Amino acid sequence: MDKNDLRYLEALSYQYPSIAKASTEVINLTSILHLPKGTEHFISDVHGEYEQFAHILKNGSGSVRSKIDLEFGFELSREDKTELATLIYYPQEKMALVEESGTDMNEWYRMQLLRLIRVARRVSVKYTRSKVRKAISADFRYLVEELMTDNDIPDKAGYYEGILEAIIKTGQARTCIMAFSAMIIRLTVDHLHLIGDIYDRGPGPHFIMEDLMHYHSLDIQWGNHDIIWVGAACGHPLCVATVLRLSARYANLDILEDGYGINLIPLMRLAIDEYGDCDWHAFTVKSSANALGEDLTLDARMHKAAAILQFKLEGQWVMRHPEYEMEHRLLLDKIDYEKKTVTVDGVVWPMEDVDFPTVDRDNPYELTVREQLVIDQICFAFKNSEKLQRHIRFLLNKGSLYLKVNGNLLYHACIPVDPDGSFHTMVLDGVPYKGKALMDAVDSYIRKAYFGNEGAEKDYATDLIYYLWSGEWSPLFGKERMTTFERQFILDKTTHEEPKIPYYKLIENEEMVHRIFDEFGLDWEHGKIVSGHVPVKRKKGESPIKCGGKLLIIDGGFSRAYQSTTGIAGYTLTYNSHGMKLVEHEPFTSTEDAIRTGTDIHSETTLIDRFEDRVTVGDTDNGQKLKQNIIDLMYLLQAYRGGEIPERE
């Protein structure tokens, strides 16, 4: 036996110190390979919509209700099934509501516990007892395990009845129901794939991040809205200004102040002192509070102050990086203040607002002393927000630019390609990259921006973050330009267009899609590309299923800001041992409605793939690892039996 192999087996022998223990593990792993694969859940572009995200996470895009329907069939009415589903999603709130109704709680507890036991058994059948045990609250592990074993045995009927009676008599029914509900949700979905854009627009990205940090198994593919927050967490002034503008635009400054403890008083004072007498109507924030008559004029002025900061810093960035070819974003110097016009690509357009008291017309991209002080103070606050830094570290540690998993390729937006469908070459710090190599290089630079040591390389990487946010060939953006300035100041909507790069015109082209499959090692027959980023306008007849089902775009308008355009409230995807399903969601009303009336998110399901034979753990990436572990353990057994390594027990 090779010395290196022997050294490895000696190290392995500390974990499995005897023939008996190594053999037991081989038996365990071999049996696991034959279990059905767990359910994978794909979600994209949640954009801070915490309530809808939390609900879809609880119901597994309809997976929990599906388990209830399979278990009870016609045995329960639709109303009873709805009540049971709501109890699983929101056990504390639902039980409090039932108590208010004057229901006999002891009988209700007993009935619901019996139903939960049956659902729990159904969702646990594809897992080992060890994995099921870990999903149960430690305080109730013994009781739950006992109740989940077969209680149809006549000799044990009294035993199970005694357990139920004692649970209710000791006042533990509520906590036991909560333990069952959490376990059912945990086991219904085995793994979550979040395909980008957690941040911006909606009011709760920080709540989403907290939930993700406590989720049992997940990965994240970064979106451009996530990456701009990474840049802001690095203290990059332009990224910070962009996050400030977006937060102000959607009336979400409280995310920064209350959620992340970032002091925005410097920006507020700048807005009051410099923009107090300004025209601010072009910067009216997007908020439902407008309908309530709330005064959002201060937010609008802060929005304007942040936007001017962004446009100035963006101009400096463009001039610092001519290789990005983004000179078309230099617009502050193209304004004619007397005529109230701006020249964009050689065309003169009237502007809605030219009242910019902090802009020096002779040197429009230079910050005033006050502006520089404000951006320095807020950058310091971003870099020193413990909660923000914790969230961004988690985002980076659990995330990547793309992921190949179980035969599918996941990325947020696109792979840059030229009009002929060949991979576009992008030069980063003097080195050309394309295809998979470009994706790997960009992933590396994102990590260097946050984790790298101070110096030229980190400076380049943090500057690159802004290109990834808005650059034409960014794999996270994929449009020719981001028309923030035009949308803000020019009423003519033809200037607002953001033409997509060739990738989006070629996604029905099988040759190009197969080229991506080959580049990343996907199987032509069974592989899928899953992405988001571009809202699918369902009400205009657009479909998320591209190239005969080889490519799926699951951004259907999770964010309320997009729902008027898409006509729905997002797509999600589930992939279990039976097949892959695309789920189309209607808008979510509220958590309160879901609890009080049992209102679930109405969803329609489209079957993408159905497998004749159930997919097992052995068919997955994890299964391949287990098979290699079995091979290693068999070599260890051989070494034990041949006397090359002595048993340690």
DSSP-derived secondary structure for 567-623: SSS-EEEEE-SSEEEEEEEPPP--HHHHHHT-PPPPEEEEEEEE-SS--BGGGSHHH
Residue 570: per-residue pLDDT: 79
Say if residue 84's pLDDT is above 90.
yes
Look up residue 24 and give its amino acid. Answer: T
Which residues sit opposite 546 in a β-bridge? 551
Average pLDDT in the 77-98 region? 94
- In Å, how far are 6, 84, 155, 634, 635 from 23, measured between CA atoms? 18, 43, 35, 8, 11
**Which pLDDT does position 293 carry in this prediction?**
44
Per-residue pLDDT at 152? 63
Give every CB contact of residue 180 below 8 A, 6+ residues apart in sequence. Answer: 113, 116, 117, 119, 120, 144
pLDDT band at 288 (very low <50, low <70, confident <90, very high): low
Structural domain total, the chain: 2
* Nearest of 411, 503, 436, 470 to residue 195 by alpha carbon: 411
What's the pLDDT at 560?
73
**Looking at 188, 218, 250, which one is the last position of a domain?**
188
- For residue 24, what are the contacts with CB-CB under 8 A and spacing of at least 6? none
Which residue did the predictor score with more confidence, 160 or 396?
396
Q: How many CB atoms lie within 10 A of CB 360?
A: 13
Q: Is the pLDDT of residue 564 over 90?
A: no
User: Is 30 in the same domain as 68?
Assistant: no
Same-domain status, 15 and 80 = no
Q: What is the pLDDT of residue 155?
A: 65
When pLDDT is averaged across residues 157-182 and rounded to a whole number, the result is 90
Q: Which amino acid is at 603?
A: S
Residue 348 per-residue DSSP state: E
Looking at the structure, tell me whether residues 81 and 159 fall in a common domain. Answer: yes
| Same domain flag for 31 and 85 | no
- Tell me: pLDDT of 635 over 80: yes
- Looking at the fold, whether 65 and 21 belong to one and the same domain comes out as no
* Residues 66 and 27 both lie in one domain: no
With contact defined as beta carbons under 8 Å apart, do 278 and 301 qualify? yes
Indicate whether 646 pLDDT > 50.
Answer: yes
Residue 290's pLDDT band (boundaries 50, 70, 90)? very low
Which has the minimum average pLDDT: 80-84, 470-474, 610-614? 610-614
**Do residue 184 and residue 66 come from a single domain?**
yes
For residue range 114-145, list pLDDT tens digits in order: 999 999 999 998 898 889 988 888 888 888 88
pLDDT at 606 over 90: no
- 46: helix, coil or strand? coil
Final residue in a domain of this structure, among 188, 204, 219: 188
Q: Is residue 76 part of a domain?
A: yes
Residue 462 lies in a domain: no
Residues 84 and 159 occupy one common structural domain: yes
Joined tokens for residue 369? 């002393």
Compute the average pLDDT of residues 562-579: 82
* Average pLDDT of the residues in 40-61: 93
Whether residues 12 and 128 fall in one domain = no
Query: Helices in 214-278 by DSSP H: which ranges?
Result: 224-233, 237-249, 253-254, 265-275
Q: Do 1 and 636 form a contact (C-beta atoms < 8 A)?
A: no
Contact 43, 194 (CB under 8 A): yes
What pLDDT does residue 541 have? 84
For residues 221-246, average pLDDT: 98
Q: What is the arithmetic mean of pLDDT over 1-5?
A: 77
635 occurs within a structural domain:
yes
What are the strands of the beta sheet with 408-411, ordered from one edge?
402-405, 408-411, 528-531, 551-553, 545-546
Of the listed ranges 76-85, 397-406, 549-558, the least confidently predicted one is 549-558
Same domain, 25 and 103: no
pLDDT of 150 reads 64
Q: Of 181-190, 383-392, 403-412, 530-539, which gets the smallest average pLDDT? A: 530-539
Tell me whether residue 354 is in a domain. Answer: no
Q: Could you tell me the residue range of the domain that residue 115 belongs to?
A: 61-188
pLDDT in the model for residue 235: 97
Other beta carbons less than 10 A from residue 429's beta carbon: 12
Specify the DSSP class assigned to residue 323. G
CA 578: distance to chain centroid? Answer: 24
Is 553 inside a domain boundary? Answer: no
- Long-range CB pairs of 322-326 (<8 Å, 24+ gap) are 323/427, 324/467, 324/471, 325/472, 326/467, 326/471, 326/472, 326/481
Mean pLDDT over residues 214-228, rounded?
A: 97
Q: What is the pLDDT of residue 603?
A: 67
**pLDDT for position 143:** 82
Average pLDDT along the chain: 92
Last residue of a domain, one of 146, 167, 188: 188
Q: Tell me: the pLDDT tens digits for 321-338?
A: 999 999 999 999 999 999
Shared domain check, 15 and 110: no
The model's pLDDT over 7-33, given as tens digits with 9 standing for 90+, comes to: 999 999 999 999 999 999 999 999 999
pLDDT score for 591: 82
Q: Is the pLDDT of residue 5 over 90?
A: no
Q: Name the percent of the chain in helix, strand, coil, to the closest 5.
A: 55, 10, 35
Question: Is there a domain that residue 130 lies in?
Answer: yes
Task: Assess if residue 147 is contained within a domain.
Answer: yes
The one-letter amino acid at 49: E
pLDDT at residue 413 in the model: 96
Please indicate, yes or no, if residue 129 is contained in any of the structural domains.
yes
Cβ neighbours of 80 (radius 10 Å): 15
Look up residue 598 and give its amino acid: G
Alpha-carbon distance 312 to 315, whole Å? Answer: 5
Is 640 a residue whose pLDDT tops 50? yes
Contact between 25 and 633 (Cβ < 8 Å): yes
Q: Find the angle CA(555)-CA(556)-CA(561) to the nearest 5 degrees.
A: 100
20 plus 77 within the same structural domain: no
Judged on CB neighbours under 10 Å (0-12, 13-18, 19+), 97 is middle
CA angle centred on 148, ends 147 and 154, rounded to 5°: 65
